Amino acid sequence: MNWKNLLILCWIMVIGSEGLEILKKRLPDAILIGAKKSGTRALLTFISIHPNVSAANPEIHFFDKYYHLGIDWYRSQMPFATQNQIVIEKTPKYLVDPKVAQRVYNMNKNVKLIVILRNPISRAISEFVQTQWKQKRNIFDVEEQARRFNRMLYQNRRGNLTIRKNWSVIRNGIYVKHVKNWLKYFPLESFIFINGDNLVRNPHQEMKKLQEFLAIKPIITERNFVMTTQKRGFPCIRLKPGSDRIKCLNDQKGRPHPKINPSVFQDLDQFYKPFNKEFFELIDQEPFW
């Protein structure tokens, strides 16, 4: 393909409601940086139906894995968008990778940062299940999964069992640590914190917050969500209010979780409690859980 054809592919002319518009690829205006297993896929799916949003295919991993390929490569991974659309990229690993925040800042210090969070205990179990699923380790034996989770969760320190806080499944849920790193480069006003648990129960509430943050018309409302035909516990979304066309998450969502002993939940609750308190004080918001 010659350079003329490449330029034609990069600049596409379309007729919009206000006349001739130009579609082109540009760097993102907002990045959904995490947290992993907190509802990032659902959030991106829901916001993508907004006509003023153009979402990149998840997950690009530019700032953590492919930074060496350069900013032009990153731009090439973006979707075509008009000047009136907000371009959003999603890679949940960004939140916890310590080198990503500075790299994002160097790209655009005014980028909007979207963070969605769940109760860190639920999040940890979901990440554990995902890891086991990928490794095909007795994925349907929930009792065996619980025993394996316990073995990996605890460590013996001088005869006492303590939680292995350096296990990535647990460390990724210490939100205050990761957000503090991002706050070295971006002000708090650059962030929105979405309640991932509430996104399942009351998705319209979280979508209202997100649309306000992105400064786009709040057209995604309660009428868009199909709560009576949930797919494995996740709501589906109508492409338009009143439409029969709906979009649901794929079958990989809602995998069986291990049967965690109540005492393990209590240990995790005590472990995360001080971190959760510090986190919500840091972002100056009422606790989500």
Q: Is residue 48 part of an annotated ligand binding site?
A: no
Give yes or no: 37 in active site: yes
Q: Is residue 40 part of an annotated ligand binding site?
A: yes
What's the token pair of residue 138? 């007795």
What's the token pair of residue 113? 């940062």
Q: Is residue 38 part of an annotated ligand binding site?
A: yes
Q: Is residue 229 part of an annotated ligand binding site?
A: no
Single out the catalytic residue among 4, 25, 36, 37: 37
Q: Is residue 120 part of an annotated ligand binding site?
A: no
User: Considering just the CA atoms, what is the radius of gyration of the chain in Å?
Assistant: 21
The residue among 25, 22, 86 whose CA lies nearest residue 55 is 86
The residue among 187, 6, 38 whose CA lies nearest residue 120 is 38
Q: Is residue 162 part of an annotated ligand binding site?
A: no
Q: Is residue 26 part of an annotated ligand binding site?
A: no
Q: Is residue 254 part of an annotated ligand binding site?
A: yes
Strand partners, 234: 231
Q: Is residue 70 part of an annotated ligand binding site?
A: no
Q: Is residue 190 part of an annotated ligand binding site?
A: no
Annotated binding site for 3'-phosphoadenylyl sulfate: 37-41, 118, 126, 253-257
Extract the annotated binding site: 37-41, 118, 126, 253-257
Catalytic residues: 37
